[in-house]
Homo-oligomer: A and B are copies of this chain.
Amino acid sequence: MSQRKIKNIFVTGKIDPAFIGDSIAKHSSKTAIGGHSIFMGQVRRDELDGKFVSAIEFTSYEAIALEKMNLIREEIFDKYPLNCLHVHHSLGLVNAGEICLFVFCSSAHRKPAIDACAEIVERLKAELPIWGKEIFEDHTHQWKENN
């Protein structure tokens, strides 16, 4: 499954729930699909010493991130019988409560979509050069760490 065009996964700011709804609607013409699995990351209003996170500012080394995501995409398509795979990640400021990651996998039967979606989320967090800066309400910040 080589030579797929490199897609841009990045969007500026939050990912709008209406965009997600529209993305789901677009799959109604793909009548070989029987199951869709979606993961979304949402910015938490975490507390640290009485201060609350008001937003996360995401930055990336985009050239490497897009190439790496393209490789992950190819490996996932080789491993699972997927009909569709869409990945969107925010750059810039995303407020608490807003969505910063949207992974959408579709397949004829449920299991490949579910397994592929979970695997992409893990790989994306571990392998893509993206950084989140947690901005507190008092404008101080700390750098997000993935577990």
Q: Is the pair A35, B28 in contact by a Cβ cutoff of 8 Å?
A: no
Question: Is A29 among interface residues, defined by CB-CB distance under 8 A?
Answer: yes
Chain B proximity of A30: nearest CB distance (Å): 7
The prevalent SS among residues of A at the interface is mixed
Asked if residues A110 and B39 are in contact (CB atoms below 8 Å), the reply is yes
Instruction: Indicate whether A118 reaches chain B with its CB closer than 8 angstroms.
Output: yes
Copies assembled: 2
**A45 within 8 Å of B (CB atoms):** yes
Please choose the segment from A5-13, A58-66, A91-99, A135-143 that sits at the chain B interface, where 4 or more of its residues have CB less than 8 A away.
A91-99
Please report the C-alpha to C-alpha distance between residue A29 and residue B43 in the assembled complex, in whole angstroms.
11
Instruction: Determine if A18 and B28 form an interchain contact, defined as CB atoms under 8 angstroms apart.
Output: no
Interface presence of A89 (CB below 8 A): no
B residues within 8 A CB of A118?
A: 114
Chain B: minimal CB distance from A33 (Å): 5
| Nearest neighbor of A106 in chain B, beta-carbon distance | B42
Please give 6 more A-B residue pairs, beta carbons under 8 A apart, in addition to A32-B44, A36-B99. A28-B98, A34-B41, A34-B42, A35-B40, A35-B42, A39-B110
23 intermolecular pairs with C-beta atoms under 8 Å apart: A17-B25, A18-B21, A18-B25, A20-B20, A20-B21, A20-B24, A24-B99, A27-B42, A31-B44, A31-B97, A32-B45, A33-B44, A34-B44, A36-B39, A36-B40, A36-B42, A36-B99, A37-B38, A37-B39, A39-B114, A44-B108, A109-B147, A114-B121
